[in-house]
Amino acid sequence: PLDRAQTAAFVESALDATLDVADADELFRRSLGNPLYLRHLIDGGGLEHVDGRWRCRDEDRRPLSGVIDEYLCALPEPARAVVDYLAIAEPLARTDLVALVGGEQLDTLGQAEAAGAVRVGPDSDTSEIFVGHPLYADRARAVLTAEHAHALR
C-alpha cells in the first residue's frame, strides 16, 4: 500500500490537480493507500470537483469489494466472460481464450484489455493473458455458481 504522501501524489497525478491536506487525508482513510481502490474512486466517479477542490463523495462509502463488483457488472457480457474464464484458469494463451469466447468475438479481448479487466502479453499470438488485477479474479469467482464454474472448466 501507499503511505499518506504517496496516496496524495498518486491521486494528484491522476487528476492533474493539487489536493488539500484534509481531502488527501480522507482519501487515505478510505483507501488505506490501496492503488486499485484509488483508481476506482477516480475512474468511477467517487470524487467530485467542488469549489475548485477534489473531494470524496460522501455517499460513496462502498468497500473495495463493492467497487470491484460494480466494475465487473458494468463490463459488457463478452468481456465479463473473458474475466470469468481467467478467474478459473489463469493464465490462458490468447489462442485458447479466443477459442473459448468465440473467434467472431475477437474484439472482446480488446474491449476487456481497454477496460483494464485483463492484461495481455506482448506476443500477439502466443502471449498469456491474465486478469487485470488478482482481486478481479477473486470477486469473479466469489459470485460464480458451482455449475457455472464447472462449465467454464
pTM: 0.73
| Domain 67-152, classified CATH 1.10.10, yes or no | yes
Q: CA 10, 47, 39, 28: dihedral to nearest 10 degrees?
A: 50
The rounded distance, in Å, linking the Cα atoms of 97 and 111 is: 14
Q: Tell me the pLDDT tens digit for each residue of 26-39.
A: 889 988 999 998 99
The rounded distance, in Å, linking the Cα atoms of 81 and 136 is: 12
Residue 149 predicted with pLDDT over 70 = no
More confident call, 138 vs 121:
138
Domain range annotation of the chain? 4-61, 67-152
pLDDT score for 148: 65
Residue 51 predicted with pLDDT over 70 = yes
The rounded distance, in Å, linking the Cα atoms of 33 and 37 is: 8
Q: Tell me the pLDDT tens digit for each residue of 110-119.
A: 888 888 899 9
Q: 24 Cβ partners below 8 Å, 6+ apart?
A: 4, 7, 8, 11
Residue 80 predicted with pLDDT over 80 = yes
